[in-house]
Amino acid sequence: MHLILFGASGMVGQGVLRECLLDPRVDKVLSLGRTKTGQSHPKLEEADMRAVDTLDVAAYDACFFCLGVSSAGMSEDEYRRVTYDLTLDVARKIATPRMTFIYVSGAGTDSTERGRTMWARVKGATENALLTMPFKAAYMFRPALIQPLHGIRSRTTSYRVFYAMTRPLMPLLKRMPRYVTTTEQVGRAMINVAANGAPKATLESEDINRL
């Protein structure tokens, strides 16, 4: 498979990239973003996000969209611009009947778009819009707690503090697959879904772990 990856410098994206480079089913990964991964690998190609405008989309099988920001301290308009608007702008440029699109959303996303929680409404609107686009298939990954493995760290300070505080509890929390997954499991699940599809479009932590 030839894959496009957005957000490879983030915590989830780092884990997804690692699994892509390890998996023999993946022949090429094009990482598009504002920040370089700092890695060198025969499978890996990197370019600025603006390269999506001239991309030969027909050469790729799937897009893993792991790009995202915390909503903390942001207004709804600001958060919508960097979540809904950016995601949909990219999706429109690469939507073809050949392409599988996998979007990293989050547990608690509000598909009704009418709930009280701002980020959940915006994520819900983003999911709903993606599901109407002319992809081969679109899947919404909704992980809850993600344990970073293999030296991967979040770039968000509050998340790093949270993971440091919960690290002693991880052996216990991992016994609850409905709520806990890992960067490794998310990456492997994405590759499996790109290769084989999934039984439903919206995948919670338990579904991700199973896949």
Along the 211 residues of the chain, how does pLDDT read in single tens digits? 999 999 999 999 999 999 999 999 999 999 999 888 989 999 999 999 999 999 999 999 999 999 998 898 999 999 999 999 999 999 999 999 999 999 999 999 999 999 999 999 999 999 999 999 999 999 999 999 898 998 887 665 555 555 555 566 556 555 555 679 999 999 999 999 999 999 999 999 999 999 9
The CATH number of whichever domain residue 198 belongs to comes to 3.40.50.720
- Distance (Å, whole) CA 35 – CA 7: 9
Q: Coil, strand, or helix at residue 95?
A: coil
Instruction: Kindly state the DSSP code that residue 39 receives in the 8-state scheme.
Output: -
On whether the CB atoms of residues 43 and 49 are closer than 8 A, the answer is no
Structural domain count, the chain: 1
Q: What's the confidence (pLDDT) of residue 157? A: 55
Single-letter amino acid, residue 4: I
As a residue count, the chain comes to: 211
Mention every residue, 6+ apart, whose C-beta is less than 8 A from residue 185. Answer: 208, 209
Say how far residue 84 (Cα) sits from the centre of its chain.
Answer: 14
Q: What's the confidence (pLDDT) of residue 45? A: 97
Q: Which domain holds residue 6?
A: 2-210
What pTM, to 2 d.p., does this model score?
Answer: 0.90
Q: What's the confidence (pLDDT) of residue 96? A: 96
